[in-house]
Amino acid sequence: MKRLPILLFILMPAICLAQKKESWWQRGREEQKQENANNRKPESFASPFDESGYYLQKGGSLILGGSVCEILGAGLAIAGASQKGQDKSDGVVIAGGVIAGAGLIVQMVGFSKLIKSGEVLRKIKFTGNGLSFSF
């Protein structure tokens, strides 16, 4: 049981770092500052497809992170439930439930980003030849 928190402290940063596109040690400090400035939502997009892609990427990342939190929370709750005879098993089960709940909330935010991506595409008006997108 003592190994589980240590394992979680090792896995959580590894999962967070794995979501970056390029590895953080390959860039210099100035490039990281530039990347942080570029990760913010732009004030205006070049086209609606760029805006839709932005929301689609953010939504997918949030859903992936929420799924990881739910899996870790469920594993923690199961590990705590299997330790019935110990005093701190109830706290571990509660902590697992809280982590899984946080993952669920993050997933809901991710799904709202995906819906917003579709709404941006729905606003596109095509003229001529009767072409239109409908979702």
Per-residue pLDDT of the chain (135 residues; tens, 9 = 90+): 677 777 777 777 666 655 655 554 455 555 555 655 556 566 677 788 888 888 899 999 999 999 999 999 999 888 888 887 777 778 888 889 999 999 999 999 999 999 998 888 877 766 655 555 555
Distance CA 26, CA 22 (A): 8
Per-residue pLDDT, 24: 47
Cα distance between the two ends of the chain: 49
- Residue 78: which residues within 8 A CB-CB, separation 6 or more? 96
Residue with token string 């390029």: 22
Residues 6+ apart with CB under 8 A from 109: 62, 66
CA nearest to 119, candidates 102, 132, 135, 101? 135
CA distance linking residue 127 with residue 135, whole number of Å: 18
Query: Which are the contacts of 135, defined by CB distance < 8 A and separation ≥ 6?
Result: 118, 121, 122
